[in-house]
Structure 1
Amino acid sequence: MTAKAIMIQGTASDVGKSMICTAFCRIFSDDGLKVVPFKSQNMALNSFVTMDGGEIGRAQGVQAEAARVIATTDMNPILLKPKQDMVSEVIVHGKHFMDMGAMSYRNNFVQQAMPIVQKSIHKLQDEFEVIVLEGAGSPAEINLKDRDIANMRMAHATDAAVLLVADIDRGGMFASIIGTLALLNDSERARVKGIIINKFRGMRELLDDGIEWLEKETGIPVIGVIPYIDINIEAEDSLALSSLRFKKPKQGEFSIDVAMICLPRISNFTDVDPFFDEPEVGVRLVRNVKELGNPDLLIIPGTKNTIEDLQWLKDEGFEQVIQTLVDKGTRIFGICGGFQILGRSLQDPDAVEGDGRSAEGLSLLPVTTTFNKEKKTVQMTGQIMTNMFDSISLTGYEIHLGKTVIEDDSCSPFLELSDGRYDGAIALNGQVIGTYVHGIFNNREFTRKIVNALRVKKGLTPIDQKVKTDTERREAAYQLLADHVRQNIDMKKVYKMLQTPIQSI
């Protein structure tokens, strides 16, 4: 079969392309079609590990789940993970290819990338009925268009109708649509068959005059106005860190205060998302020492450059403040790079992190990390080794460079993995925990036990209401999103676009 294609492009980053692609994947799947997501080139620090250990953009992993298909690296054959200023790790078909500067990537690699991307597209076209393509940023970046392999070049390659998404919530929506279309050439503009206005708040009727003008001005129908909705689906872009989901609680507003440090090169920050679903829990993003306060739980998340972010923590004065919090009884949880930061030392003999520097960690766990060139990307299952959590079994995924070794018996491994390895470390009777496992809090029983332990410590009654599994929550979120989009978009027009080859128009 040769799959039909629809492509979601945006007037800018963070306008909602990923969410609308996710909705379309579930809508088409609900309608009985074999659908698959695709993004040729993605730049994101939130990534997803496929069943065979490949690393792709988190959004494509989510979209595959919404489409009810198993995620593969063909859905995102090229992933860029910013590592330093103007330097990114280039991941090809889920595996590390090389670190590359921006100019070298633009001048040398982009032409190599097209055959890789085309091979993936052809494979998906043969296996599926519908491809939902996601663009990157804007298709109208004049300085990048000649080497842009994520937007109109993909639309041409798949003969896809393009739906242009604009975010009305940020303001300037009409100008962004008109400006984007003005910067497209004739063949590119001819592919834009519909406009979607996203994140609308207020009375729909007040928008009617503007829509009438926009359709007359552009000759392109507005096929949907999507009201703003806050759905708990993982984000991939660091722009989402400004989301209102990160509460700014007043003192005493929530019984339990969870804080996560916003490292400069933060990655997989969605690890903290499950706490938003816990009753009476406030979740804060902390950017400086003044904001830290006295949280019940402090999370140090993953990072794309552990040594540089460790140095930032020290320069900003976090080191001493975190030690003070430990002395007061705050629970500390480090994930991946955050786990490495909690250790005694970080060794980089092969200059994996940059210039080969070594560094002293925060010394809250008696562990040493040595970075190596081989990246560990794997889905995992394991069992907690401490009876504090009743030996709960956990699932998650690993994405890291380096091996961490416990140096003495003042702590013990946190998990025993199903492949025979041990992971992480736990010390001070469970007050300080480190692990390489991303998605660990998606194990909802485990997260509830953490919350209840914090509540008991503060003299509060444990929460006894039933815990929904993460699968149940994600399925409900996908269905809610799909229903919301279906109700507010003209799907008849979308299906007509799929049936009509653009090249013949």
Structure 2
Amino acid sequence: MVMGTASNVGKSVLCTALCRILVQDGYRVAPFKAQNMSLNSAVTPTGREIGRAQAVQAAACGIAANEHMNPVLLKPTSLDKSQVVLQGRVYETTSARAYFQERTGEIWDAVVESYEYLAARYDVLVIEGAGSPVEMNLKSRDIANMRTAELADADVLLVADIERGGIFAAVVGTLQLLSARERARIRGVIVNKFRGDRSLFDDGVRLLEELTDVPVLGVIPHLRDLGIEEEDSVALDERRYRSASSDAPDREAVRIAVIQLPHISNFTDFDPLFLEPGVHAYFCRRPEDVGAAHAVLLPGTKNTMEDLQWLRETGFVDVLAQRRAEGAVVFGVCGGYQMLGKEVRDPKGHESSIPVCKGLDWLPVVTTLEHEKTTVLVQGHLEGAFAPIPVSGYEIHMGQSLGLSGYQPFATVRQTTDDVTRPDGAVNADGTVMGTYLHGIFDNDAFRQAWLNQVRERFGISPPVSSALSMASTRAQAFDRLATVVREHLEMDAVYRMIGHPPRATGSHSTC
């Protein structure tokens, strides 16, 4: 099990690395995280919803994701409420207080059931903790850390982020706040995100070991441009997402502004654009950050109604209208697609106390939020100017959108489990505004290139000499690169002693 001294210290990425390494070394491996709080989620082949990090880790293992890998997913809908997804299905929307009081009942039973399901089917589970195991006001009700470690009888690696400073206090303080029984599970410390000459931290390693009596099993270097999807929106503060429009290094780059909504979800939908040659993508928190964008993207959101109001109150709507008038293309995904319609209705208050909110009225659709949540994998083909490019993706939404007069679908799709086709999304008459429910739409290489070339043509931008980016290959290479670096800087012999077995297929380290 991998725990951290705090949130965002790199637990998810290190778990991904361990998943890949263990698979390369011949084990049947699966990820597990008892409880995740994130608005970045994924859909399994059976139509269940789990945290994005566990779906990424499953991909690193070369297996299909399932709901048991993340039995509890909390998706905040407001400052004091979260939607609780239990084994992939909506359980309830509740306050933090009510949720904490119910953890020992049906919710913990689901965690135990999911753990036992995976443990019976895989050689090794790579278990990820959540936040810190020593949030003392919550510790007695924490199911994601030490309680899960005890369930699995797991040895624990404690990860600390040296980049944020205070690593000695973080490690020593965490260990001091654990009980003696809990401390006995900590078998090693990992210092993460180290920059510079590793030998300069030799004294640091010695001091950590003397102060804690726990071995430092690895000092992992900071990895730039890793190309692996992030777990939650904390990552949006990283420079690769934060570059302003004026920072574009190439005047011939396509400038793409992504609006960072307050309740943004699944922002990793746009990761392929950040990796694409000849493209400068950036997230915007203020209207002035949009700059001279050639395209503006509206992402998914866990609260469409309130984020629509936020767009108006902050002045984003006026800026979007101006950029559209100047020729920019506008694209919405999921909640962003709903915002582009005439109206969004929430008569039963599923997301907000606002019953009706006027949309941007750039697409002829009306959306009604409903109790039943759609979580499906889909595939199909595009319509209109992009026909018949094949596409695939996944849907996670509680709203149903109805086309009005003049409606043109973005795509025709079907669930991967049946042959019933239906329209998805919408496109305006001149093809400059479009929306879709398909998360992962930009992972489709053919569509992404066609869409970027459409934007380039509108603004007279020359395509780069080489732009044949394959997202499938890029992600596989990222997993292997990550595994190689972690293997080099982590004492894997110690990890295998914890597992109790040597590597089963050493030396090949091939992509699974």
Displacement of 1:319: 1.5
Provide the secondary structure at the position in 1 that maps to 2:23: helix
Whether the aligned pair in 1 keeps the contact of 2:76 and 2:83 (CA below 8 Å) is: yes
* Distance in structure 1 (CA, Å) of the matches to 2:236 and 2:247: 22
Displacement of 1:81: 0.3
* Distance in structure 2 (CA, Å) of the matches to 1:35 and 1:251: 42
Provide the secondary structure at the position in 2 that maps to 1:412: coil
- 1:152 maps to 146
Which of 118, 122, 127 aligns to 1:124? It is: 118
Pairing 1:236–2:237 present: no
**Counterpart of 1:433 in structure 2: which amino acid?**
M
- 1:432 maps to 433
* Distance in structure 2 (CA, Å) of the matches to 1:45 and 1:258: 22
Whether the aligned pair in 1 keeps the contact of 2:245 and 2:292 (CA below 8 Å) is: no
**Counterpart of 1:401 in structure 2: which amino acid?**
M
Gaps of 5+ in 1: 1-6, 501-505
- 1:332 maps to 330
Q: TM-score, normalised on structure 2?
A: 0.94
- 1:20 maps to 14
Displacement of 1:323: 1.2
Pairing 1:248–2:244 present: yes
Whether the aligned pair in 2 keeps the contact of 1:57 and 1:79 (CA below 8 Å) is: yes
- 1:467 maps to 468
Alignment of 1:155-234 (within 5 A): 155-230=149-224, 231-234=226-229
CA distances 1:373-412 after superposition (whole Å, capped 9, x unpaired): 01000011011011x2242100100000111111111x40
**Counterpart of 1:470 in structure 2: which amino acid?**
M
CA distances 1:221-245 after superposition (whole Å, capped 9, x unpaired): 1000110112101112110111121
* Distance in structure 2 (CA, Å) of the matches to 1:115 and 1:59: 22
Whether the aligned pair in 1 keeps the contact of 2:254 and 2:461 (CA below 8 Å) is: no
Pairing 1:137–2:131 present: yes
Whether the aligned pair in 1 keeps the contact of 2:160 and 2:191 (CA below 8 Å) is: yes
Displacement of 1:369: 0.4
* Distance in structure 1 (CA, Å) of the matches to 2:374 and 2:109: 27
Whether the aligned pair in 2 keeps the contact of 1:372 and 1:401 (CA below 8 Å) is: yes
Pairing 1:414–2:410 present: yes
Provide the secondary structure at the position in 1 that maps to 2:26: coil
Provide the secondary structure at the position in 2 that maps to 1:299: strand
Whether the aligned pair in 2 keeps the contact of 1:278 and 1:448 (CA below 8 Å) is: no
Provide the secondary structure at the position in 2 that maps to 1:14: coil
**Counterpart of 1:191 in structure 2: which amino acid?**
R
Displacement of 1:348: 1.4
The verdict on how the C-alpha distance between 1:436 and 1:268 changes in structure 2, with shifts beyond 3 A counting, is: same
* Distance in structure 2 (CA, Å) of the matches to 1:296 and 1:203: 41
Displacement of 1:466: 5.5
Whether the aligned pair in 2 keeps the contact of 1:456 and 1:462 (CA below 8 Å) is: no
- 2:258 maps to 260
- 1:52 maps to 46
Provide the secondary structure at the position in 1 that maps to 2:120: helix
% identity of equivalent residues: 46
- 1:450 maps to 451
Provide the secondary structure at the position in 1 that maps to 2:272: helix
- 1:31 maps to 25
Pairing 1:88–2:82 present: yes
Displacement of 1:251: 5.5
* Distance in structure 2 (CA, Å) of the matches to 1:397 and 1:284: 23
**Counterpart of 2:425 in structure 1: which amino acid?**
G
Which sits farther off after the overlay, 111-120 or 255-264? 111-120
* Distance in structure 1 (CA, Å) of the matches to 2:337 and 2:108: 37
* Distance in structure 1 (CA, Å) of the matches to 2:159 and 2:104: 26
* Distance in structure 2 (CA, Å) of the matches to 1:90 and 1:32: 36
Whether the aligned pair in 1 keeps the contact of 2:245 and 2:291 (CA below 8 Å) is: no
CA distances 1:77-104 after superposition (whole Å, capped 9, x unpaired): 1110000111000011101111010000
Which sits farther off after the overlay, 461-470 or 414-423? 461-470
Whether the aligned pair in 1 keeps the contact of 2:348 and 2:355 (CA below 8 Å) is: no
* Distance in structure 2 (CA, Å) of the matches to 1:460 and 1:129: 52
Whether the aligned pair in 2 keeps the contact of 1:257 and 1:295 (CA below 8 Å) is: yes
The verdict on how the C-alpha distance between 1:464 and 1:430 changes in structure 2, with shifts beyond 3 A counting, is: farther
Whether the aligned pair in 2 keeps the contact of 1:452 and 1:463 (CA below 8 Å) is: no
